[in-house]
Copies of this chain bind each other. A is one copy, B any other.
Amino acid sequence: MNAIAAPAAGTPAPEFKSLSPEILAALIADLGDIPVITEEKVVRKRSRDFFWYSPILNEELAKKSADIVALPRDEADVIKIAATCAKYRIPLTPRGGATGNYGQAVPIHGGVLLDMNALDAIEWVKPGHVRVQAGMNIGKLDAELRTSGWEMRMHPSTKRTATIGGFVAGGSGGVGSVMYGGLREPGNILAARIITVEETPRIIELRGDAAQKINRAYGTTGIITALEMPLAPAFPWIDVLVAFDDYKTCLEFGRDVARADGVIKKLLSPIASPLPEYFGPMREPCPDGKAVLLAMIAEPSFETFADMLAGRGTITHKAPMVEEPGQIPLYEYTWNHSTLQMLKADRTVTYLQCLFPPERFVEAILEMAAMFPDELIPHCEFIRFGGQVTCSALPVIRYKGKERLYEIIAAHEAHGVLIANPHVITLEDGSRHKRADADQIGFKAEIDPHGLLNPGKMRTYVPVKP
A binding-site residues for B, Cβ under 8 Å: 126-129, 149-150, 153, 179-181, 185-188, 190, 207-209, 230-236, 258-264, 298-301, 303-308, 384, 386-389
Identify which of A180, A187, A258, A387 gathers the most chain B CB atoms within 10 Å of its CB.
Answer: A187
- Classify the interface of chain A: helix, strand, loop or mixed: mixed
With A209-B307, A233-B128, A236-B127 as given contacts, are A262 and B187 in contact (CB-CB < 8 Å)? Answer: yes
- In the complex, the answer to whether B259 meets A187 with C-beta atoms within 8 Å is no
Tell me the nearest residue of chain B to A304, going by C-beta.
B187
The residues of B that contact A208 with a CB separation of less than 8 Å are 303-304, 306-307
Pick the residue among B126, B186, B306 that contacts A308 (CB under 8 A): B186
The residues of B that contact A235 with a CB separation of less than 8 Å are 127-128
The residues of B that contact A179 with a CB separation of less than 8 Å are 261
With A230-B301, A300-B129 as given contacts, are A262 and B387 in contact (CB-CB < 8 Å)? Answer: no
A441 CA / B327 CA spacing, docked (Å): 50
Tell me the nearest residue of chain B to A388, going by C-beta.
B388
- In the complex, the answer to whether B149 meets A186 with C-beta atoms within 8 Å is no
Identify which of A185, A263, A304 gathers the most chain B CB atoms within 10 Å of its CB.
Answer: A304
Which 3 A-B pairs have CB atoms at the shortest separation, nearest pair first?
Answer: A259-B387, A187-B262, A233-B233
The residues of B that contact A264 with a CB separation of less than 8 Å are 128, 187, 230
- In the complex, the answer to whether A261 meets B387 with C-beta atoms within 8 Å is yes
With A262-B188, A387-B260 as given contacts, are A207 and B303 in contact (CB-CB < 8 Å)? Answer: yes
- In the complex, the answer to whether B187 meets A263 with C-beta atoms within 8 Å is yes
Nearest Cβ on chain B to A25's Cβ, whole angstroms: 46
Tell me the nearest residue of chain B to A359, going by C-beta.
B359
- In the complex, the answer to whether B300 meets A128 with C-beta atoms within 8 Å is yes
A172 CA / B106 CA spacing, docked (Å): 54
Chain copies in complex: 2
Nearest Cβ on chain B to A334's Cβ, whole angstroms: 19
The residues of B that contact A128 with a CB separation of less than 8 Å are 233, 235-236, 264, 298-301
Tell me the nearest residue of chain B to A257, going by C-beta.
B186
A233 CA / B153 CA spacing, docked (Å): 13
Extra A-B contacts (14), CB below 8 Å, given A185-B261, A187-B260, A208-B306: A127-B234, A128-B300, A149-B149, A150-B233, A180-B262, A181-B262, A186-B308, A187-B264, A208-B303, A209-B304, A230-B264, A231-B300, A259-B387, A387-B388
The residues of B that contact A306 with a CB separation of less than 8 Å are 208
With A128-B233, A128-B235 as given contacts, are A180 and B261 in contact (CB-CB < 8 Å)? Answer: yes
Tell me the nearest residue of chain B to A130, going by C-beta.
B300
- Report 11 cross-chain contacts, Cβ distance below 8 Å, ordered by A residue: A128-B264, A128-B300, A150-B233, A153-B262, A181-B261, A187-B263, A208-B303, A230-B300, A231-B300, A233-B233, A261-B384
The residues of B that contact A153 with a CB separation of less than 8 Å are 262
- In the complex, the answer to whether A387 meets B258 with C-beta atoms within 8 Å is yes
With A127-B235, A128-B236, A262-B181 as given contacts, are A304 and B389 in contact (CB-CB < 8 Å)? Answer: no
- In the complex, the answer to whether B262 meets A230 with C-beta atoms within 8 Å is yes
- In the complex, the answer to whether B262 meets A301 with C-beta atoms within 8 Å is no
A228 CA / B243 CA spacing, docked (Å): 29
Nearest Cβ on chain B to A304's Cβ, whole angstroms: 4
A303 CA / B129 CA spacing, docked (Å): 12
A126 CA / B190 CA spacing, docked (Å): 30
- In the complex, the answer to whether B304 meets A186 with C-beta atoms within 8 Å is yes
The residues of B that contact A186 with a CB separation of less than 8 Å are 260, 262-263, 304, 307-308
Tell me the nearest residue of chain B to A231, going by C-beta.
B300
- In the complex, the answer to whether B185 meets A262 with C-beta atoms within 8 Å is yes
Nearest Cβ on chain B to A216's Cβ, whole angstroms: 15
- In the complex, the answer to whether B187 meets A299 with C-beta atoms within 8 Å is no
